[in-house]
Amino acid sequence: MLSADALKIRNLGERTHPSPLDFSTRRGDGIGNFIFDETRVRSHVELLPGQKPRDDVLYEKAGPREMLYFRPERTKAALVTCGGLCPGINDVIRSMVLELYHHYEVTRILGIRFGFQGMNPDVAAPPFQLDPDFVENIHRNGGTVLGSSRGSQPVDKMVDFLQDEKVDILFCVGGDGTQKGAHEIWLEIERREAKIAVVGVPKTIDNDIPFVTKTFGYSTALEEARKVIDCAHMEAKGLRNGIGLVKVMGRDAGFIAAGATLASQEVNFTLIPEIPFELEGKDGFLEVLKKRLEERGHAVIVVAEGAGQHLFESAPTVRDASGNLKHNDIGQLLKEEILEYFQKTNFDAGLKYIDPSYIIRSVPANSDDRIFCNALARHSVHAGMAGKTDLLIGHCHDIFLHIPIPTAVSAKKRISPEGRLWMSVLETTGQPLFFGRKVVEEGPNEP
């Protein structure tokens, strides 16, 4: 259960410098407003019968503060991007630089190369200065102009780097592994009693970070995945008993698979990590797939990369540089099992397997993600200049929020089998509630 203490935001100290932003503290005067530091947002807006509203669990609202901790003309900021690629990273970098430079008049902005490696002098590529001219057109391309990497580096060396470079604010763009690293950096900063703010911008194409309605890149991923699914549908219809099998990203949560299913409207089976399934036996996936082909002559399957991992019980456990469990290839397994099943049952079927993951995550952001990236970036700058630290920018109820990093990385957001999203998937695909088993894996769920 979320507590009030879990949402308490750290501050470096008293804010004594007036903001250079031309905002107002009066409501109703037609001028954009500073956010009062005491402004709070309710954590829940829905009450079930008999429930009472909780007034003690409140988010701190994000936005520009009237008074700043850092004096703008003396401030130096640094940006680092970590983890896998995702549409919109360059948009975040660009909007951060423009907000710092043009609105806060912070002209010393350091671009750290290749993730946390860039903060370890033993392995680092030299950082470089960021300015409006450098970032002018970077949002037109996918990827990250700063480069990226997975895994952490010695925390003491990273904080030495920040102090040697006289950095006041470190902005960390990345997923849960990156944010855990950012928290460790903050703990070392705190131990040294240094005055350096650490602000996170949540990034994961999987959309599995709690306290963020959607992470940037997710909207673009759905759009690109939908195009692939539509092509798989055409491939399936072009064969006798044709099957289009598409694997999409989603290590621990099936948001891309579910969202792309709804965007396409051509999917017949969606398989996600949250709901295990059986292949064999009565009401198993293979039997249901065969019935679909007998009735309709084609089928489209979308599977998230983390689905069906229980089918690899004897496989060794392997982790990547960030400590994430490396999943076995469920797409390849499904392809082999489907073809073998139909061969054994003398059923004539053809299958086309498509894995567009690295293409989808490398494209430029679409309009929806660009708008969201811009807002996340600018809110992170507001937080950093106010001296707020060890936080990331959240987004709930269409309001931007400050979330302590330890709270944000304490769990992953997952699809609720009883929620609106999964119910919509079931209604769209027409697939059964379960394939051969009625066991679901629970976690912090979307509504």
Q: Which domains does the chain have, with CATH numbers?
A: 5-214+365-408 (3.40.50.450), 218-360+416-429 (3.40.50.460)
Say which of 91, 168, 176, 206 is annotated catalytic: 206
| Residue of 224, 320, 206, 292 lying closest to 264 (CA atoms) | 224
Residue 404 has pLDDT above 80, yes or no: yes
Note if 29 is an active site residue. Answer: no
- How far apart are the C-alpha atoms of 205 and 215, rounded to whole Å? 7
Please tell me the predicted confidence (pLDDT) of residue 318.
67
Contact yes or no for 61/39 (Cβ under 8 A): yes
**Residues β-bridged to residue 302:** 246, 270
Q: What is the DSSP string of 336-354?
A: HHHHHHHHHTT---EEEEE
Tens-place pLDDT, residues 98-149: 999 999 999 999 999 999 999 999 998 999 999 999 999 999 999 999 999 8
- How far apart are the C-alpha atoms of 60 and 56, rounded to whole Å? 12
Least confident of 94-103, 209-218, 438-447: 438-447
- When pLDDT is cut at 50, 70 and 90, the band that residue 328 belongs to is confident
Contact yes or no for 108/75 (Cβ under 8 A): yes
Residue 319 has pLDDT above 80, yes or no: no
Please tell me the predicted confidence (pLDDT) of residue 327.
81
Burial class (CB in 10 A: 0-12, 13-18, 19+), 22: exposed
Two tokens at 250? Answer: 């989603």
Bridge pairing between strands 17-18 and 67-68: antiparallel
Place of tokens 């053809």: 350
- pLDDT (average), residues 44-56: 78
How far, in whole angstroms, is CA 331 from its chain's centroid?
22
